[in-house]
Amino acid sequence: MILINLLPHREAARKLRREVFFVTLGLAALAGLLVCSILYYWYLTQIEGQRGRNTFLQSEITRLDVQIKDIATLQAEITSLKARQTAVEDLQGNRNLPVYLLSELARQLPDGVYINSLKQENQVILITGIAQSNERVSELLRNLSNNSPWLSKPELVEITAGTVTLSQRDQRRVSNFSMRMEIKRAAAQKEAVASSPAAGKT
């Protein structure tokens, strides 16, 4: 017996394909939405984790800033203490300066040279005196330039001829001079005291 299908099978097949298409489309949309949701929550988790790390780093930075300020304060205090220590050492070194200065001048003065006055301004010493001749003044300059651990940069300011009356009948020609020099600072003075002949004898 021959069966003849008189129903619109093409329309039914088309309808079935359409239904399958929409079902597939819906499943794809659901799958896409699921994937997007997973990615969204993953990114959200990553962002929250990064925010937590940023908060931790910010707190550490703030703590380090406080420590840096403390270190800067300590460095300022150390610098201040070093400056005070240097000032105290300079004062202690300069306490005996007049004694050392006079002793050094007495050692460096050649015979026939006499000092009338001595004046100090900061590290500069100005002396005036009398010498029997210009050669004696030159010898004093050489001594101060080469042999003195305490005095440096001697400079002759002025030298003039003069006379000294020893008695009514005895007058002698002399050289009046003024001289400028620098005295070394306390740190150099300690080395000078340590290396001076007087220090070796004590």
Superfamily of domain covering 97-201:
General secretion pathway protein M, EpsM (3.30.1360.100)
Q: Where are the domains of the chain?
A: 36-95, 97-201
Which secondary structure element, helix H or strand E, spans residue 103, and what is its range?
helix 97-108
Contact 109, 155 (CB under 8 A): no
- Write out the chain's pLDDT in tens, 202 residues: 666 655 666 777 788 888 888 899 999 999 999 999 999 999 999 999 999 999 999 999 999 998 898 898 888 899 999 988 887 877 776 666 777 777 778 887 888 888 888 888 877 888 888 888 888 888 888 888 887 777 778 888 888 887 777 766 777 888 888 888 887 765 555 555 555 554 444 4
Enter the pTM of the model.
0.45
Tell me the residue length of the chain.
202
